[in-house]
Every structure is written in C-alpha cells, then in structure tokens.
A = this chain, B = another copy of it.
Amino acid sequence: MTEETPVKKSNENVVFVGSKPVMNYVLAVVTQFNSGHKDVHIEARGRAISRAVDVAEIVRKRFMNELKINNIDIGTEELKSKEDENVNVSTIKISLMN
C-alpha cells in the first residue's frame, strides 16, 4: 500500500509536493476539492517549488477553471544536514480556493 500512495498528506487539505510526477499532485489537489474542501494548500520546499507552481497552474488551467489563488507565501526553513550543519531551504505555500 505504501508504494501506491501517490502523495504524502499530513492534513486533509494540504498537498506536499515532492519529486514525484506532477500529475500525481494535480490528482491529489483535484481529489481534495471533489471531496468537498473549499480550499486546498499546496506546499513545497527547495527544488520542488517549481513543481508546486506547475501543480497549481495545471489544476487551474486544465481541470478547475473557476479556482482562485487565495494566497501565496514564501519562507525559509532551517534544516540539519547529515553533517549536522544548518541548511536554509526556501518554502512555498499556494492556497487555492473554490
């Protein structure tokens, strides 16, 4: 089962974008809206930020034209590397609203 799960979820209406194919995340977002959520938050960090923007754009342009971008937030998270060094990673949160 674990390998079939396309997208990690911590929260019902949050989709974390990582390194999987973009359509996995698009499907996850559309599913959240179809299950009745009025807003869905797309989150990513580091290189996945570009993919998160792709997800938001594909959902809006190809699947749900009526969606609005409610808010876009960028930030920085401090992570620990394997060598125990602090590494700053950029983050993005894109909130879509039905």
Residues of A participating in the B interface, judged by any CB pair closer than 8 Å: 46-50, 53-54, 56-57, 61, 69, 72-76, 88, 90-92, 94
Contact = CB atoms under 8 A, between A and B. Distances in A.
Contacts of A91: 53
Contact of A49 (B49, B69, B75, B76): B49
Contacts of A56: 74
A53 B90 contact: yes
Given A49-B49, A49-B53, A57-B75, 14 more contacts: A46-B50, A47-B50, A48-B50, A49-B50, A50-B50, A53-B91, A54-B90, A57-B74, A57-B76, A61-B76, A61-B88, A72-B72, A72-B73, A74-B94
